[in-house]
């Protein structure tokens, strides 16, 4: 083992994925998570292109696919339920609108946690309260009272990253609202969903509703988008969020009334602004950022999980390859990742524009059939080279062979 001690904030997807690779390359890893336990459910997330290769290199392809939603495809429908378009999971080699690796965020987090919990220290129900760094390390005070020193600290704690605010500055400096609000929650599957999801968009109002199947066939996941030029509801005030959702969604049509009927009894309601995180640098000394905390591309990109998984692989690999020198490792991580991140953020912004209320966006709608968009999409899915880090001394876990 290298003796390098790394603290990772956040135990959703990016954090445990990073912990996997840090441990593989010999670091001693602690993951701190403010929630008392893993959070189940959540929206369905996808892995496309190079993200699927990272999962394979982790040796987790079978485990991830076993936990997938097994969605066969998607229908877009009008207000009366008439099918307008059909998309299949096998389209575009499994990297299309419905990816062949589609999994609930909570289920993916569970796979990653189960893979790492024997080798990584997890601290649930705690958080970083204070942090002070010097040239040789980082002193951390936890909210629970513990005081410890680490060589590196990585924030993988999401869009509203507390570590980012603590080290880099207030959220307003980095959060870019895309004019949409997203809400989702699980409902009883009284809609007859069977491996196919349905989406209804009302282009005149900039609203949409989606129902998707999940592994538990007795349940389904509902998702809403609505246009909002600003967002002033506390993302932790659940009751105020539900009031807002009812106000904005009532009258949308299709199955919306039946979905809203379960709003008060759902166990996993979530609502937040659709936003991106844009930063000039993802590191400060011995503190770095990963995933949504560093470069959220928003759900509109469909690639947030891919960015987290690929970023975890590259960050851990570059740090280890640099002999754990943060200045070199962080710089190389950013050089490799930034073009990939920027392509996905551009996809997210373009998709957000298509959901804007007519007349509110002065720019013309993007031509998704054009050659330039196909090139952009290619960079967003496969636009980062995955170095072969397997020549480095590791913890003893046998790395998966790199495909030629």
- Would you state the pLDDT for residue 1? 47
- Would you state the pLDDT for residue 396? 46
Whether the predicted pLDDT of 43 surpasses 60: yes
- Would you state the pLDDT for residue 17? 98
* Cα angle 373, 280, 148; round to 5: 125
At 284-306, the pLDDT tens digits run 999 999 999 999 999 888 899 99
Bridge partner residues of 76 (DSSP): 85, 199
Which residue from 203, 249, 243 is spatially nearest to 223, judged by alpha carbons?
249
Whether the predicted pLDDT of 158 surpasses 90: yes
- Would you state the pLDDT for residue 129? 98
pLDDT band at 395 (very low <50, low <70, confident <90, very high): very low
CATH class (in words) of the domain with range 5-72+103-174+276-383: alpha beta
Question: Which range (71-75, 88-92, 346-350) has the least confidence?
Answer: 88-92
- Put residue 71 in one of left, alpha, beta given phi > 0 → left and psi -120 to 50 → alpha: beta
Question: Which of 41-45, 148-152, 350-354, 372-376 has maximum average pLDDT?
Answer: 148-152
Residue with tokens 């600003």: 230
Q: How many CB atoms are closer than 10 A to CB 37?
A: 11
Q: Which 3 state secondary structure label does DSSP give 244? A: helix
Q: Are strands 152-155 and 287-289 parallel, antiparallel or unpaired?
A: parallel
- The residue count of the chain comes to 404
Q: How many CB atoms are closer than 10 A to CB 232?
A: 8
Query: pTM of this prediction?
Result: 0.89
Whether the predicted pLDDT of 127 surpasses 70: yes
Domain ranges of the chain: 5-72+103-174+276-383, 178-275
At 206-232, the pLDDT tens digits run 899 999 988 888 999 999 999 887 777
């Amino acid at each position: 083992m290298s003796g390098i001690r790394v603290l990772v904030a956040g135990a959703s997807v990016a954090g445990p994925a990073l912990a996997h690779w840090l441990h593989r390359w010999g670091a001693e890893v602690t993951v701190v998570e403010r929630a008392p336990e893993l959070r189940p459910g959540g929206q369905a997330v996808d892995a496309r292109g190079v993200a699927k290769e990272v999962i394979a290199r982790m040796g987790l392809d079978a485990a991830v696919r076993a936990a997938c939603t097994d969605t066969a495809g998607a229908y877009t429908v009008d207000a009366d339920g008439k099918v307008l378009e059909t998309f299949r999971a096998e389209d575009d080699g499994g990297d299309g609108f419905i990816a062949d690796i589609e999994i609930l965020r909570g289920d993916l987090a569970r796979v990653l946690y189960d893979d790492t919990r024997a080798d990584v220290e997890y601290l649930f129900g705690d958080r970083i309260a204070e942090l002070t760094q010097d040239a040789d390390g980082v002193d951390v005070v936890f909210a629970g009272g513990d005081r410890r020193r680490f060589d590196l600290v990585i924030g993988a704690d999401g869009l509203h990253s507390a570590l980012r605010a603590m080290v880099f500055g207030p959220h307003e400096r980095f959060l870019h609202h895309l004019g949409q609000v997203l809400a989702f929650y699980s409902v009883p599957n009284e809609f007859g969903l069977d491996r196919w999801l349905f989406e209804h968009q009302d282009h005149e109002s900039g609203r949409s509703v989606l129902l998707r199947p999940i592994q538990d066939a007795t349940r389904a996941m509902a998702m809403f988008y609505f246009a909002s030029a600003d967002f002033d509801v506390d993302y932790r005030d659940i009751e105020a969020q539900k009031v807002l959702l009812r106000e904005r969604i009532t009258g949308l049509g299709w199955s919306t009334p039946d979905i809203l009927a379960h709003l008060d009894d759902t166990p996993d309601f979530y609502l937040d602004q659709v936003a991106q995180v844009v930063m000039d640098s993802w590191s400060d000394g011995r503190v770095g950022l990963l995933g949504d905390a560093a470069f959220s591309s928003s759900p509109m990109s469909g690639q947030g999980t891919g960015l987290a998984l690929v970023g975890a692989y590259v960050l851990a690999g570059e740090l280890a390859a640099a002999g754990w020198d943060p200045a070199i490792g962080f710089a190389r991580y950013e050089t490799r990742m930034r073009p990939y991140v920027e392509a996905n953020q551009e996809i997210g912004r373009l998709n957000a524009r298509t959901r804007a209320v007519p007349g509110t966006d002065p720019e013309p709608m993007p031509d998704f059939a054009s050659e330039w968009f196909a090139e952009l999409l290619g960079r967003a899915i496969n636009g980062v080279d995955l170095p072969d880090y397997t020549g480095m001394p590791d913890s003893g876990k046998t790395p998966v062979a790199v495909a030629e």
